[in-house]
Each structure stands twice: as C-alpha cells, then as structure tokens.
Structure 1
Amino acid sequence: MQNTIIYLIGHYGVGKLTIGKAIVEATTARLFDNHLANNVIFSLIREDGRTKIPERAWDLIMTIRRQALIAIAEIAPRDASFVLTNALMEDDPLDRQCYDEVVATARRRDGIFVPVLLSASDEAHARRIPSLERGERLKMTDAEGAAIVRRTKRLLVVDHSHRLDIDTTTLPAAEAARRIIDHADAIALSRRT
C-alpha cells in the first residue's frame, strides 16, 4: 500500500481504532486516530466520556486536525500511507468539513482515498462502549448516550467510488483490516492499468 489514505468512519465503539491498528500492523501505514487531536484538548478540559463537550473545544480540535493534514499533505513522504478514524454525522456541518478536508489532502498528495464505513449491531456497541480502555483514551463510555446517538444521528453520507462498507459485529479486526487492505490494493492496481 503506497500513498493511500484510508478513512475509517463509524459510530462510537464500532472498532475504528482497533481496525486501524490492525491495518498499521499489516502494512507500513501510519495511524492518525481522531483522539490524537481530540485528546490534546480533552485532557486539558478533563473530558470524562459522559459530559457534553463544550462547542469551543471542537474549534480547537479542528485547528489541530488541520495542522496534521497539512503535515500529511506537505511534509510526509509521498509513498507514505495513512489510516484516519472518525465518527462523522450527517447533520453536523463540521463533520462534513472534516471529511472534505481529508479528501482534499488525498488529492493534494495525488493519492488513493478509501472511505470505509463501519457498522455493528446494537448489542456489539453496548458491550464495547463502557470498556476501561475507552475510558483511558478519553472516549465516550456512556453506552446509553452512545445508543441515543446511533438512533438519532445518521452517519455521514459518503458517495465515493472507493467506498467500502463493513459490519464489525462478529468480524475480527485482523480480517476487517485484510478486507480493507485488499480493497485499497485493488484500487491501486486498477489505477496503474
């Protein structure tokens, strides 16, 4: 995998980070988990995974994200690949902006962009959300709150020819990662021919 940006998108607890790590372990890709940017701010405001996050925090997080995308577009080696993660909702204009900025970064690199929409059953979400590891990473741990978000907020509508949808309910992370890598490799092969 070379000069590819894989964007893992899904609700809280769907396995974005776990699958992202599995992709990185299987390739030379670099991981930019959304919490790398989020936690700079979350750690300072003492985000607890349950309390509503102040709106101003998201503006600050976007500044950090944009700087990371500039680094990917302008400084990172041209053959480097990246895995990004995010929970993006259709009704949030900032989320559409996040997505568009990642697409633009892939274009600036003249790279391959692969959006991957991850889903899982309500039961899988309920098991995963309250985990200790999520709490340690300053992620949402309120299973009831996450269920409300899943019921009331639709994931970002992604209309892209490279889109891949994966249900992670029973799929091991390594297998999901392999499907994504194979998909990206097939796109790269078709681009070369």
Structure 2
Amino acid sequence: MADASGAVLIDNHLINDPVFTAIGANGRDPLPGLAFKLAGRIGEIVREAVLCAPNDLDHIFTNWLSDTERDAELYRQIRDLAQARDARFVPVWLTCQRIELTRRVALSDRQERNKLRDPATLIEALDRNATLPPPTDALLLDTTDTSPTESARRILTFAGQNSRLGQP
C-alpha cells in the first residue's frame, strides 16, 4: 500500500524491532515485559519525527490494538498526530478469521522482521486481549479471503475519498 500511494509506512515492527533484536527475540519465545515499554519510547520518538515531516508526506501506521487503555491512548495519539499535522486521518480496522491467522503466523516471511510465529502464542494472545473496537469512521475490512493487493486497493479507494492518500 505504501508503494502504491507514496506514503511512508510506520508499522509496529519499525518501532519494535530495534528492541526485539537487541533482546534476542525469535518470534516464538515470550518477550520480557520491559520490551514493550522500551519500544513505546521508540514509538514516541518516531511520532515526534513524523511531526517534522513535510506536510505533503502521508504516513501509514499499522498496529494490533488490544482493548486496553494503553492501546486506546496510542490510537488517540496517532489521531492527534494527524490533527497536529493538519492531515486527514483514515482509520482502517482489519479482521481475519482465527484459522487463517494461525496459518499466516507460521509463514516464513514473518521471520525477517521479528514477528510472532507461534500459532499457540497467537491464539493465547487473542484469547487474552480483545481487539480495540473500531471508531465509527473506520473502514472495516475482513482480510480472511482477500489478497494483500485487493485489501490495499480497497483501503486506498476508501482513503482516496477521505484523505490525500490514494489520490493521483
């Protein structure tokens, strides 16, 4: 999607991987709680850097947000960041059936970025943490049977109606 739109991708692994790499994360073993606290500090710096970006530069933020006050606050910070930049904010909530998520989590390409790769740990995390409910203005997109290319097309079409993203 970033390639198709020219936007900068700020995914959670851009922020998490420096910490995950330093602590020896392997995508299978549990991470120490401090890992996410440290990654949160990196996230603060990245969001501050986005404030310095040219106004015509769009950003795509991705993350799994659980239904916790911490993640609700992160969502608000990203929405506020768009407002501070005078940029349009286009929330997109992706869903996927569990059986497909467990198939995808074990794919080899996830190893490149210190991503979770253990299906049992994924199911445990999903059972422990409900997803943050989508805001009323979000695009809801079930990706279970949708290719990444088609998902990106749908998002860019929606965003093109709501922001600079997706416009020629």
Both proteins in one fold, TM over 0.5: yes
Distance in 1 (CA, whole Å) between partners of 2:57 and 2:136 is: 22
Which position in structure 1 is the counterpart of 2:103?
A: 127
Contact 2:67 2:132 in 1 (8 A): yes
Query: Equivalent of 1:38, from 16, 19, 43?
Result: 16
- Quote the residue 2:56 is aligned against: 79
The one-letter code sitting in structure 2 at the alignment partner of 1:141 is R
TM-score w.r.t. the length of structure 2 is 0.91
Corresponding residue of 2:163: 188
Q: Provide the secondary structure at the position in 2 that maps to 1:113.
A: coil
Does 2:114 correspond to 1:138?
yes
Q: Do the aligned residues in 1 keep the contact of 2:90 with 2:163 (CA within 8 Å)? A: no
What is the CA–CA distance in structure 2 between the aligned matches of 1:113 and 1:52, rounded to whole Å?
Answer: 33
State the identity as a percent. 31
Equivalent residue, structure 2, for 1:28: 6
- Measure the CA separation in 1 of the matches of 2:153 and 2:54: 24
**Count of residue correspondences:** 164
Residue 84 of structure 1 deviates from its aligned partner by: 1.1
Q: What are structure 1's unaligned runs of at least 5 residues?
A: 1-22
Distance apart, 1:136 and its partner CA? 2.6
CA distance in 2 between counterparts of 1:184 and 1:77 reads 19
Q: RCO (CA 8 Å, sep 6+): is it higher in 1 or 2? A: 1
The question of whether the paired residues in 2 share the 8 Å contact of 1:115 and 1:160 is answered with no
Q: 1:178 aligns with which of 150, 153, 156?
A: 153
Which consecutive unaligned segments of at least 5 residues does structure 2 have?
A: none
Provide the rounded CA distance (Å) in 2 between the counterparts of 1:173 and 1:124: 14
Within the alignment, does 1:151 sit opposite 2:96 as a pair?
A: no
TM-score (norm 1): 0.80
Q: Secondary structure at the residue paired with 1:114?
A: coil
User: 1:4-33 deviations in whole A, cap 9, x for unaligned?
Assistant: xxxxxxxxxxxxxxxxxxx11211111111
| 2:26 pairs with 1:51 | no
Report the more deviating stretch, 150-159 or 101-110: 150-159
Conserved? CA contact 1:134–1:140, under 8 Å: yes
Which amino acid letter does the alignment assign opposite residue 163 of structure 2? A
Structure 1 position 160, deviation (Å): 4.0
- Equivalent position SS for 1:84: strand
- Counterpart of 1:36 in structure 2: which amino acid? L
- Tell me how large the CA RMSD over aligned residues is: 1.5
The aligned amino acid for 2:55 is R
C-alpha separation in 2, matches of 1:81 and 1:151? 34
- Corresponding residue of 1:107: 83
**Could you say what secondary structure the match of 2:110 adopts?**
helix
